[in-house]
A and B are shown apart, each in its own frame.
Chain A
Amino acid sequence: MTDNSRDSRHPRLESWKEIGAYLQRDVRTARRWELEEGLPVHRHSHRSRSSVYAYPAELDAWRASRKVVPEPPPARPLWKIPAFAVTMLLCLVMVGNGVRPVSAQQAAATARQLWLTGDEDPCCTAPSADGRYIAYTDDSTGDLGVRDLVSGTSRRLTNRSGRDFAEPTKAISPDGRMIAYAWTMENVAELRVIPTAGGTPRTVYRGKSPNEYLLPHDWTADGKQLLVGRKLADNSWQIAMVSVADGTVRPIKSVGWGLTDPQLSPDGRFIAYAAQRGGGDILLLAADGSSETTLVSGPGKSRSPIWSADGSEVLFVSNRTGAPSLWAISVRNGKPNGPAILLRADFIDKYPLGMTRTGALYYTANGNGGTNIYVADVDSALKVREEAHVATEGSFNSNLGPAISPDGERLAYFSNLPGRGRVLMVRNLKTGEEREMGQQAGANPNNSAYGPMWFPTGDSVLVYARDPNRPGYHFWRVHLGDRKREELLSLAQLWAYALSPNGKSLFYAGQETIDSTGALVRFDIESKRQTVLTLTPSGANSISVSPNNQEVAYMVGGGGPNKDGTRLEVMPASGGQSREVHSSSPWQDPWNVNGLGWTADGKSLLFVKPQNVETVLWRVPVTGGRPEPTGIVRKGQIKSPQMSPNGMQIYFGSSEPVPGELWALENFLPQTAAK
């Protein structure tokens, strides 16, 4: 952490909701990232503040450090996979309702959707042994609850007060009667147990210092001890056992800065866990501390180990063949007993939770939301004629940043492809042909607001990227013909940018060096000359240049310590006095919005404004006046609104929340299927 993590432009994010909004993800994803990938979230700083907070610059650095894993060669050729696995892959996905016991006679694997979870997040919690119950954290309240999957009812178990909340990691006792959970309060966290049927919670362990907390992952079979991840006050982690009766903590192993998914074997002798946040080797640690064995090592990263019901296998998710897939490895006496086998090749955005005693694997899916590119036909008054539709079918839920080519015939955008990261794509709007133009230079900035921007010749685009090997933000010109990249500019801080339609100037809001004052700057690409147009110490979150290159529009405010109002301003591209086109009370999510564009005739500005849980695309005359809604309303964030050169369509990106789902995969293990 460095001083610049305390960025005055981006004030501290004070809740899971703000953190999620900044990351453009839902709350559960932010929480999961904290647990599994080390998202830098702080706790318990001041009594007057929320129990969690984060610094945008730290989040940015974390995002930049999430390196894309190169696609490794397959560990085993597919033809070597045992026939039963192939058979199961062909027989998957039969959707049913309710919970049913797994029949030992079932021949085919089935995947059944159990629950559309909404705000009730079962993240990181194994189901009860009989599969009937699962604990959840209510993202809207922070309370702990339990879902009866047979009756389809949810029951809240806690009454949250103040800023307390239940951490997402919970564990249901072997007899299904108790739930262990971590309860985070102001300046202290407790490990508690509460009856599944409801009742008064009992504190098992109270943190000895503000930053210490224990996350329950599993119970011993006798219900007397809990396997916990223990975060120490220095932010390092331990695997430990805790006595349910008296809270005595027995540290087993210190694991440094990250701990992922420890799971106790059914016989209680071994603990399987992922060696690193974000995935790594799967290790088997003897619960008595006597030994440790690497169960699964590369290629790729592995995570989310889950013991089979009989303890003979450990399931895990690995990207060893590219995309995240579900694998299993046989275990005998705490050692690997043969090579890992592939069970399901399509385990993208799926997180195993645990197995029932009958061998059903419960997992969550689709919690991350989707980003897509849409297009809406508009009339001469810029009102949409009909509801916007998806403009690109490929890589659904993974596309961002539309850019219409100057001739209006091609659409450039990014696709986040599994195992490959952000790939530049170009779609021919006439033929529908989509071509990959290469992986984006540098690290994946993981910012879904900004896509590529066309140079007027139509043969190259502007992109920006972060680089894990050097600080700052870097602009590149990517030539689509030979796919060569040419670095144009590096900045210490970047808030918003736009390329002029004539391709001669890059306008950005940011800081050239970390010590310089934030400003709106025109960078003339050929001469490399930079001209400060106006100082914007509080940043700017959207910039757009008029079609005639004469004016630049930008949005400022909405954030900062004073939570000042948001203003839409226009100034000459050559510098000079700005004028306010529109202003309003501060907008909720001022970060990374990129919600500004010009109409094709240059007479109006399109701008995005949140409205409750939706965002609305508005139009306002560039001379000022009353804004009018275009009729484009989305549940997620509208980004990069852009009008086609003929003025007949509006393209935009949108991040849409996708409801979380709980699924059960049954009869899929070789042994189970063979019985």
Chain B
Amino acid sequence: MKSWVLLSLVLRPPLGLDLYMPIPESNPLTPAKIALGRRLFFDKRLSRDGTLSCASCHDPKLAFSDGRKVARGINGQEGTRNAPAIINRGYGRTFLWDGRAKSLEQQVLEPILNPKELGMTEALVESRTHLKIGEVTGALASYVRTIRSGNSPFDRYAAGHQRALSELEKAGLAVFRGKARCTTCHAGPNFTDEQFHNTGIAWRDGALVDSGSGEGKFKVPTLREVARTAPYMHDGSLKTLEDVVDYYDRGGNANPYLDEDLHPLNLTSEEKSALIRFLRSLSGNVRQGKL
């Protein structure tokens, strides 16, 4: 495939997304790199025992999540956090639930080297792939940048197609922006402010069980494809969207670090239903590096 074909795809994002996606000068996007990244993403040689790949926790059929409460690594080891849906991460500014990775190139290496996830070493990656580690991370990051979701019913509605959302979904949008004030954090085309907040999820029995980025704060995830990415929250502790809405409706778990924007919402059952319907309208077309 000619490089200009890919370039045109990159420059024409799905409806609702930005034209500009930050791409580091040190890792320019090329078709070859994207193709390599895609192969590596599904390559089980990137796990120590050859049983798992990136796609094991980021399954395209589940909008690049895994449907599990927490991620499961080699030897059936369970982590402590939910595998996030890696949708539209090319637009991100910080990565992983606690934001410790500052670039996608850093991020993609973390699960590969984590003993409880893929359990590799850099040397082992290089020997198995016959690639330098920088080539592996560059290719994987390039592929992840192509995983984009847009053109959802909401996007079509926002573009002026009044019928793209049902009346119930429109009512849910009003709740989302209004009474529930979800847009305080879930804003912009990607429905995240890329910031870190304490919603009280990590507060159990009078203590923080996971400090996240500090004081129990975790990154606001995108809501794109949210209907397909259960369970929810950084620890996967809420099974359904209904659970999530109920959780925020009661104002989260009170704790010393609770975000000041959280408080009981007093949503009616109709408002909750509408809100959930709206959230389901955020599922659209997921594109990925396959040209």
Closest residue on chain A to residue B260 by CB atoms:
A2
User: Taking the complex as formed, is B79 at the interface, i.e. its CB lies under 8 A from any CB of chain A?
Assistant: no
Residues of A within 8 Å of B158, CB to CB, are: 208-209, 233
CB within 8 Å of A: which B6-50 residues: 11, 17-23
Contact call A289/B11, Cβ cutoff below 8 A: yes
What separation, in Å, do the CA atoms of A286 and B19 have in the docked complex? 10
Flag the segment in B185-193, B202-210, B229-237 that touches A.
B185-193
Asked if B20 and A234 make an inter-chain contact with CB atoms under 8 angstroms apart, the answer reads no
The reply on A648 being an interface residue by CB < 8 A is no
B78 at the interface (CB under 8 A from A): no
Q: Is the interface of B mostly helix, strand, loop or mixed?
A: loop
A2, A3, A211, A292: the one within 8 Å of B20 (CB)? A292
For A212, give the chain B residue with the smallest CB separation: B158
Once the chains bind, are A292 and B22 in contact (CB under 8 Å)?
yes
- Verify if B122 is at the interface (C-beta below 8 Å from A): no
Is B261 a contact partner of A253 (Cβ separation < 8 A)? Answer: no
Whether A254 pairs with B261 at a CB distance below 8 angstroms is no
Binary interface profile of B, 123-162, with partner A (CB < 8 Å = 1, else 0)? 0000000000000000000000000000000000111100
Given contacts A208-B160, A233-B177, A234-B183, contact A288 B19 (CB under 8 A): yes
Q: Tell me the complex Cα distance, A667–B194, Å.
A: 44
Give Cα distance in the complex from A291 to B21, angstroms. 8
A292 CA to B158 CA, complexed, in Å = 26
Complex Cα distance, B177 from A235, in Å, reads 9
Complex formed: what's the CA distance from A235 to B181 in Å? 11
Residue count of chain A within 8 Å CB distance of chain B: 26
Instruction: Give chain B residues whose Cβ lies under 8 Å from the Cβ of A292.
Output: 20, 22
Asked if residues A251 and B187 are in contact (CB atoms below 8 Å), the reply is: no
Whether B187 pairs with A236 at a CB distance below 8 angstroms is yes
User: Are B11 and A288 in contact, CB atoms less than 8 angstroms apart?
Assistant: yes
Q: How far is the CA of A415 from the CA of B20 in the complex (A)?
A: 44
A1 to B183: give the CA distance in the assembly, Å: 12
Q: Is B75 an interface residue (CB 8 A)?
A: no
A286 to B260, CA, bound (A): 37
Residues in B with CB closer than 8 Å to A102 are none
Contacts of B189 in A (CB 8 A): 238, 251, 254
Find chain B residues with CB under 8 A from A233 CB: 158, 177, 183
Report A-chain residues with C-beta under 8 Å of the C-beta of B260: 2
Contact A3-B190, Cβ < 8 Å, known A233-B177, A252-B19: no
Give the size of the chain B interface in residues (CB under 8 angstroms).
27
A1 touches B184 (CB 8 A): yes
The one of B20, B160, B193 that contacts A289, using a Cβ cutoff of 8 Å: B20
A253 touching B20 in the complex, CB below 8 Å, given contacts A234-B188, A290-B11: yes
Over the window 234-263 of chain A, the binary record of Cβ atoms lying under 8 Å from chain B Cβ atoms (1 yes, 0 no) is 111010000000000011111011000000
Indicate whether B263 reaches chain A with its CB closer than 8 angstroms. yes
Q: With the chains together, A292 CA to B189 CA distance in Å?
A: 19
For the complex formed, measure the closest distance between the CB of A495 and the CB atoms of chain B, giving whole angstroms: 22
- Does the CB pair B18–A254 fall under 8 Å? yes
Question: How far in angstroms is the closest Cβ of chain A from B163?
Answer: 13
Write the chain A residue with the least CB distance to B176. Answer: A234
A1-B184, A2-B260, A2-B263 known; A289 and B190 CB under 8 Å?
no
Per the bound structure, the CA–CA distance linking A480 and B60 in Å amounts to 67
Q: Which residues on B sit within 8 Å (CB–CB) of A2?
A: 260-261, 263
A residues near B188, Cβ cutoff 8 Å: 232, 234, 236, 238, 254, 256
Q: How many A-B residue pairs have CB under 8 A?
A: 69
Whole-angstrom CA separation of A408 from B260 in the bound complex: 46
Return chain B residues, CB-CB under 8 Å to A600. none
B19, B181, B194, B263 — most chain A CB neighbours (10 Å): B19
Q: Is A605 an interface residue, CB under 8 A from the partner?
A: no
Residues of B within 8 A of A252 (CB): 18-20
A285 in the interface, Cβ–Cβ < 8 Å?
yes
Is A234 a contact of B18 with CB atoms below 8 Å? no
**Chain A residues, CB < 8 A from B194:** 256
What does the 1/0 interface line of A201-214 toward B look like (CB < 8 Å)? 00000001101000
A198–B177 Cα distance when bound, in Å, is 38
Contact (Cβ within 8 A) A251 B18? yes
Q: Which residue of A lies closest to B22 (CB)?
A: A292
What 1/0 flags go to A250-293 for Cβ under 8 Å of B? Answer: 11111011000000000000000000000000000110111110
Q: Which residues of A contact B18 (CB under 8 A)?
A: 238, 251-254, 289
Q: Give chain A residues whose Cβ lies under 8 Å from the Cβ of B193.
A: 236, 256-257
**In the bound complex, how far is the Cα of B262 from the Cα of A651, in angstroms?**
46
State how many angstroms separate the Cβ of A336 from the closest Cβ of chain B: 14
In the complex formed, the residue of B with least CB distance to A286 is: B20
A423 and B194 CA atoms in complex are apart in Å by 36
Given known contacts A208-B159, A289-B11, A253 and B19 CB-to-CB distance under 8 angstroms: yes
Shortest distance between the CB of A631 and any CB in chain B (Å) = 49
Query: Scoring A residues 599 to 634 as 1 if CB is less than 8 Å from chain B, else 0, what string do you get?
Result: 000000000000000000000000000000000000
| 0/1 string, A188-218, CB within 8 A of B gives 1 | 0000000000000000000011010000000
CA distance A575 to B17 in the complex (A): 63
| A1 contacts B261, C-beta separation under 8 Å | yes
How far is it, in angstroms, between the C-alpha of A235 and the C-alpha of B178 when the chains are bound? 12
* Nearest B residue (CB) for A293: B25
How far apart are B202's CB and chain A's nearest CB, in angstroms?
22
- Cβ-closest chain A residue relative to B195: A256
Please, how many angstroms separate the alpha-carbon atoms of A208 and B19 in the complex?
20
Q: B54 CB to closest chain A CB, in angstroms?
A: 27
From residue B186, how far is it (CB to closest CB) to chain A in Å?
A: 8
Residue of A nearest to B160 (CB): A208
On whether the beta carbons of B190 and A235 are closer than 8 Å, the reply is no
Beta-carbon nearest neighbor of A247 in chain B: B160
Bound together, the chains give a CA A224 to CA B210 distance in angstroms of: 53
Give bound CA distance, A233 to B160, whole Å: 13
* Nearest chain A CB to B228 CB, angstrom units: 22
B262 (CB) vs chain A CBs: closest residue = A2
A236 to B261, CA, bound (A): 17
Instruction: Check if A285 sits within 8 Å of B160, measured CB to CB.
Output: no
**In chain B between 46 and 101, which residues have their CB closer than 8 angstroms to a CB of chain A?**
91
- What are 15 pairs between A and B in contact, CB < 8 Å? A2-B263, A233-B158, A233-B183, A234-B187, A234-B188, A236-B183, A236-B193, A238-B18, A254-B189, A257-B187, A257-B193, A288-B19, A289-B18, A289-B20, A291-B20
Contacts from A to B (Cβ < 8 Å): 1-3, 208-209, 211, 232-236, 238, 250-254, 256-257, 285-286, 288-292
Q: Knowing that A251-B189, A257-B187 touch, tell me 13 more A-B residue pairs with CB under 8 angstroms.
A: A2-B261, A208-B160, A232-B187, A234-B187, A235-B183, A236-B187, A236-B193, A250-B19, A252-B18, A254-B188, A256-B193, A286-B20, A292-B22
- 7 smallest CB-CB distances across A and B, nearest first, come from A289-B19, A234-B183, A289-B20, A253-B20, A236-B187, A234-B187, A236-B188
